Amino acid sequence: MPPRGDVIEEARRQWRERWGDEPVPSMAAVTSIMRAQQILLARLNELLRPWDLTFPRYEALMLLHFSHRGSLPLGKMGERLQVHRTSITNIVDGLERLGYVTRVPHEHDRRTTLAEITDAGRRAAVEATEALNAARFGTEPLDDDALEALFETLLPFRAKADAFDVEAAPRA
């Protein structure tokens, strides 16, 4: 076996040589997050394959599963999941084809469409969650301390984008 290198260690070296130490931590952290996300997404999509879910579809399904009425306007789903209108439309289309969601008109506002979780959608949500929980969401080999550190470190970064009105929060 030849000695192994790491693409980001290599980038750090290149950066330090050309642009000095100052930008190295941000470049290395950002590239690490991008790469971790790619690896996680592949693992999660593989774990979710038995339900024909992808991780974005799973997140949307859980949002509905946890919502007070089992339904939410598409616009609000997009806000919560921080995805564009076209993306949430595609995600809900996919869930609808699978029979996990149906589109229903809003009770008081005909221009608003709600996505509503079906019984099959609730079963898939619970089963898929049990599979992800058992696989620790594909985070191997990270331990709980490392996982908590990631959550805590990213909290101030996410804070503004992920904040939402508590008034509008789903109630259990």
Residue of 33, 104, 106, 109 interacting with a second copy (CB under 8 A): 33
Query: Would you count residue 123 as binding a second copy (CB under 8 A)?
Result: no
Q: How far is the CB of 128 from a second copy (least distance, A)?
A: 12
Whether the CB-CB separation of 60 and 96 falls below 8 Å is answered with no
Give the residue from 167, 58, 64 showing the smallest Cα distance to 114.
64
Whether the CB-CB separation of 99 and 118 falls below 8 Å is answered with yes
Q: Considering beta carbons, is residue 23 or 50 the nearer one to a second copy?
A: 23
Residue of 50, 69, 75, 169 interacting with a second copy (CB under 8 A): 169
Please list every residue from 38 through 77 that binds a second copy, using CB under 8 A.
Answer: 38-41, 44, 55, 59, 62, 66
Q: Considering beta carbons, is residue 119 or 167 the nearer one to a second copy?
A: 167
Q: How far is the CB of 81 from a second copy (least distance, A)?
A: 8
Give the residue from 51, 28, 20, 46 showing the smallest Cα distance to 123.
51
Give the residue from 54, 17, 43 showing the smallest Cα distance to 141.
43
